[in-house]
């Protein structure tokens, strides 16, 4: 399918997507716990009947049932060697359904998450995941799909990996759908705004939302996506939320109600609609009748110059408030940082990221250029470490093309490249990399001849860089121009020439500008005075941002004051708030000595910040100073993990930070435990059996609960996923368990929880049964008689504490 045809389809009509597959096949007899793709191939008539019904209901794009037919998922059923034939045959079934209806529909190759977690949260390397997706994508292309539909993605990093894989295989259109929790964020903390910015800059053709919520709750999320979308946005909501009726989970929203909510989704800006869990062909048929006469309001993105991390966006406006790009993560001239990097220690990098974030930087520049290290590997490590402690977008800074590409490839946001000059060997390759990974780029007016001799030559280089950018398909909205600050001590006209360049870029080219601020004062005494004066002059001439040290309060305050005096939007409030915040930050910094914050020790800080690389070493230092092992647990580790939990509850931390903190604590506990000299017969606080119920192969949440409970002193027996009830009960008896914890992520498997509760009650077994998972609620727990429900790992610890205290 040509991408022009795809986009024309969305311009001509509201595109109709299909509805649920799994829940309808369950109704047709597909049992719990089987490989869905294998069952479909063994019972093809049910899939063909369902898809024919969707076509009759008005579906334009039909998803082939290849949802979990990737190598990792199929391996869970020992079917990984059947990946090619299964994907080919599954696409053929959808083609048969279309042919039998004599319908001109489009077949989408359906792809989703693998269930394994990417580094640094999990153990799956980025390139391994890309290879897994490329394998399936290549087969689907050969099977003849018209486009790709990447759906139910909880991780923006994994969504990017899938998109990159598809694009390295073919040029077919790609639709990507994220799934958000009730708090408006994915399980990994991504927002609708960040998702649409990252994915559309990467080159996907439509972005949307599916699963997790019903159509009513999805409306606000669609509106948030549309604010930044320059491509079609789509919605595939669940048919409301499941209810327990006569011992079965059912979706009860009528097609008429579903369709009316669908109307609101289209009015909110969705250009395509369909259904997810619980929806049927009747829902799609009624949805089409309602929305075909609705014309979405024409909208434009509120800002097209936007950088993004996995969870936060940074708009860049030509006349907007000045932005600080933190320069500190750069070993040039920093002996301590150089020593630590040569030792493979990233603690100072993490500290610099945290400090610059606290001091008001809006973007962080990362440069690992120095001798004595593998710069490429160190750059990738730095990216992973920094994104674990800040949500600021990154600026990737290197003189090597391959290093910039390596960083952009793994970065789960939209980054800024620093920088692209008119060097023949680097210019076009870097622009192509920027295009491939959706990055913004700084254009630096240097050529192979070196520095421009005068202002005219500088402008000529800028014009040539813009011409090449146009040729390589980079939009003007993705570019920023470096004013190229020279040293005023060597060239008395340096400041004036830079100011002229800034004004030229803003007024004539309408392109934002940046500069490396400290260059202006090189070799002069009291450099801060020159830097500050120059900064205010540059802002007055239109400078958009500068690479500088946000820890220099005089400099930052001057930029805030300059914005205030230029009457920029909300600059008065920003000035007052930030000057107060900077003052408080300075006071806090003064109280911190040798890396120990006023909140606790180095060990405490390591858990709160998830510093896995340094925590064991800092535990050793605490022990060497005379601190008792048990005291470290009681006064440092337990309070720290409690703090992580509080930040998670406050939505300041998300899954990656929660995992990082728990893992750091786990490493500390593992080191300390042999030193405690615990008696062999000493008892843990309690014993918990944990399992994902039979038929369900999701275990992200369950694994985190296991980790957190262990850190709080409980003995935890993790039975894994897809665990039958008899195995759970046998383990509980053998381990003399206090609590059985059950997890489910699928509406089709949540009833196994009810079976467990009923078995425990009927046999008068002494175990408390607690449940959790994305599809589970407190109401469901009450209905089946469970002893407790927790919405996340942090709450699970509190629940277990309460149950065993009350026991």
Contact 370, 333 (CB under 8 A): no
Which residues are CB-neighbours of 657 under 8 A, at least 6 positions away?
189, 388, 389, 610, 644, 647, 648
Q: Which of 679, 681, 645 is nearest to 665 (CA)?
A: 645
Instruction: Determine if residue 276 is labeled as part of a ligand binding site.
Output: yes
Q: How far is CA 29 from the centre of its chain?
A: 36
Q: How far apart are CA 73 and CA 631, in angstroms?
A: 44
Q: What are phi and psi of 59, to 5 degrees?
A: -65, 135
Instruction: Determine if residue 303 is labeled as part of a ligand binding site.
Output: no
Q: How far apart are CA 495 and CA 534, in angstroms?
A: 7
Bridge-based pairing of strands 174-178 and 440-447 is unpaired
Q: Which of 13, 19, 12, 15 is nearest to 52 (CA)?
A: 19
Contact 91, 136 (CB under 8 A): no
Q: Which of 498, 419, 505, 394 is nearest to 454 (CA)?
A: 498
Contact 752, 701 (CB under 8 A): no
- In degrees, rounded to 5, the angle at the alpha carbon of residue 486 between the alpha carbons of residues 481 and 490 is 170
Instruction: Determine if residue 211 is labeled as part of a ligand binding site.
Output: yes
Q: How far apart are CA 405 and CA 416, in angstroms?
A: 12
**Which DSSP string corresponds to 239-304?**
SS--EEETTEEE----HHHHHHHHHHHHHTT-SEE---TT--HHHHHHHHHHHTT--PPP---S-S
Q: How far apart are CA 564 and CA 26, in angstroms?
A: 62
Q: Which of 765, 724, 721, 717 is nearest to 744 (CA)?
A: 721
Burial of 60 (0-12, 13-18, 19+ CB in 10 A): buried
- What's the first-to-final CA gap in the chain, in angstroms? 63
DSSP one-letter code for 747: T
**SS3 (DSSP) at 567:** coil
- In degrees, rounded to 5, the angle at the alpha carbon of residue 100 between the alpha carbons of residues 99 and 105 is 45
Q: Is 296 left (phi over 0), alpha (psi -120 to 50) or beta?
A: beta
DSSP one-letter code for 17: B
Three-class DSSP labels, 183-245 = CCCCCCCCCHHHHHHHHHHHCCCEEEEECCCCHHHHHHHHHHHHCCCCCCEEEECCCCCCEEE
Q: H-helix or E-strand containing 110?
A: strand 106-111
Q: How far apart are CA 188 and CA 122, in angstroms?
A: 12
Q: How far apart are CA 186 and CA 192, in angstroms?
A: 9
Residues contributing to the annotated binding site: 211, 276-277
Residues contributing to the annotated binding site for Zn(2+): 211, 276-277
């Amino acid at each position: 399918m040509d991408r022009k045809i795809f986009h024309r389809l969305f311009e001509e009509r509201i595109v109709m997507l299909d509805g649920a597959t799994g829940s309808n096949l369950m109704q047709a007899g597909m049992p719990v716990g089987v490989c869905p793709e294998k069952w479909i191939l063994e019972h093809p008539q049910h899939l063909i009947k369902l898809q024919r019904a969707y076509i009759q209901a008005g579906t334009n794009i039909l998803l082939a049932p290849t949802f979990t037919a990737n190598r990792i998922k199929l391996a869970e059923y020992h079917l990984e060697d059947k990946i090619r034939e299964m994907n080919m045959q599954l696409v053929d079934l959808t083609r048969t359904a279309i042919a039998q209806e004599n319908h001109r529909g489009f077949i989408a190759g359906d792809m989703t998450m693998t269930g394994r977690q990417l580094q640094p949260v999990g153990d799956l390397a980025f390139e391994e995941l890309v290879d897994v997706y490329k394998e399936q994508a290549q087969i689907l292309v050969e099977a003849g799909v018209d486009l790709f539909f990447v759906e139910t993605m909880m991780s923006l990093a994994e969504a990017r990996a899938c998109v990159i894989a598809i694009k390295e295989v073919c040029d077919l259109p790609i639709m990507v759908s994220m799934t958000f929790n009730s708090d408006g964020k994915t399980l990994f903390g991504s927002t609708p705004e960040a998702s649409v910015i990252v994915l559309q800059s990467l080159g996907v053709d439509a972005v949307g939302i599916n699963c997790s919520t019903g159509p009513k709750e999805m409306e606000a999320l669609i509106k948030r996506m549309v604010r930044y979308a320059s491509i079609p946005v789509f919605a595939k909501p669940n048919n409301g939320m499941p209810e327990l009726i006569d011992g079965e989970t059912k979706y009860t929203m009528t097609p008429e109600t579903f369709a009316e909510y669908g109307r609101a989704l289209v009015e909110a800006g969705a250009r395509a609609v369909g259904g997810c869990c619980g929806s049927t062909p009747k829902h799609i048929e009624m949805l089409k009748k309602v929305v075909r006469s609705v014309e979405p309001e024409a909208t434009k993105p509120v800002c097209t110059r936007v950088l993004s991390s996995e969870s936060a966006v940074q708009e860049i406006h030509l006349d907007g408030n000045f932005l600080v790009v933190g320069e500190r993560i750069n070993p040039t001239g920093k002996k301590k940082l150089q020593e630590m990097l040569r030792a493979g220690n990233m603690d100072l990098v993490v500290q610099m990221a945290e400090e610059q974030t606290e001091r008001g930087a809006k973007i962080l520049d990362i440069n690992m250029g120095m001798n004595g290290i593998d710069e490429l590997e160190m750059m990738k490590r730095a990216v992973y470490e920094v994104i674990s402690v800040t949500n600021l977008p990154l600026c990737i800074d290197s003189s090597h093309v391959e290093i910039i590409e390596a960083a952009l490839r793994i970065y789960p946001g939209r980054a800024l490249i620093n920088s692209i000059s008119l060097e023949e060997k680097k210019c076009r390759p870097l622009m192509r990399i920027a295009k491939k990974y959706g990055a913004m780029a700084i254009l630096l007016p240097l050529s192979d001849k070196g520095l421009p001799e005068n202002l005219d030559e500088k402008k000529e280089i800028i014009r040539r860089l813009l011409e090449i950018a146009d040729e390589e398909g980079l939009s003007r909205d993705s570019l920023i121009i470096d004013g190229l600050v020279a040293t005023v001590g060597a060239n008395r006209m340096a400041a004036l020439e830079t100011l002229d360049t800034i004004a030229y870029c803003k007024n004539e080219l309408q392109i934002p500008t940046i500069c490396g601020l400290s260059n202006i004062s090189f070799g002069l005494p009291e450099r801060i005075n020159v830097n500050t004066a120059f900064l205010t002059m540059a802002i007055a001439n239109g400078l958009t941002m500068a690479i500088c040290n946000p820890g220099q309060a005089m400099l930052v305050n001057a930029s805030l004051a300059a914005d205030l005096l230029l009457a920029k939007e909300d600059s008065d409030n920003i000035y007052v708030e930030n000057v107060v915040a900077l003052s408080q930050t300075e006071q806090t910094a003064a109280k911190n000595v040798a890396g120990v914050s006023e909140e606790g020790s180095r060990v405490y800080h390591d858990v709160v910040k998830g510093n896995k690389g340094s925590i064991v070493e800092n535990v050793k230092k605490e022990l060497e100073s005379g601190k008792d092992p048990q005291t470290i647990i009681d006064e440092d580790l337990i309070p720290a993990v409690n703090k992580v939990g509080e930040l998670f509850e406050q939505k300041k931390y998300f899954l990656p930070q929660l995992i990082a903190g728990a893992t750091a604590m786990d490493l500390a506990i593992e080191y300390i435990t042999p030193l405690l000299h615990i008696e062999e017969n000493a008892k843990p606080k309690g014993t918990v059996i944990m399992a994902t119920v039979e038929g369900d192969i999701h275990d992200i949440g369950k694994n985190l609960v296991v980790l957190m409970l262990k850190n709080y002193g409980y003995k935890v027996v993790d039975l894994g996923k897809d665990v039958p009830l008899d195995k759970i009960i046998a383990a509980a008896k053998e381990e003399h368990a206090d609590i059985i914890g059950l997890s489910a992520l699928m509406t089709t498997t949540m009833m196994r929880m009810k079976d467990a509760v009923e078995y425990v009650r009927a046999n008068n077994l002494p175990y408390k049964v607690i449940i959790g998972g994305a599809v589970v609620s407190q109401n469901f727990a009450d209905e089946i008689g469970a002893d407790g429900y927790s919405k996340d790992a942090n709450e699970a610890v509190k629940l277990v504490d309460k149950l065993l205290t009350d026991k």
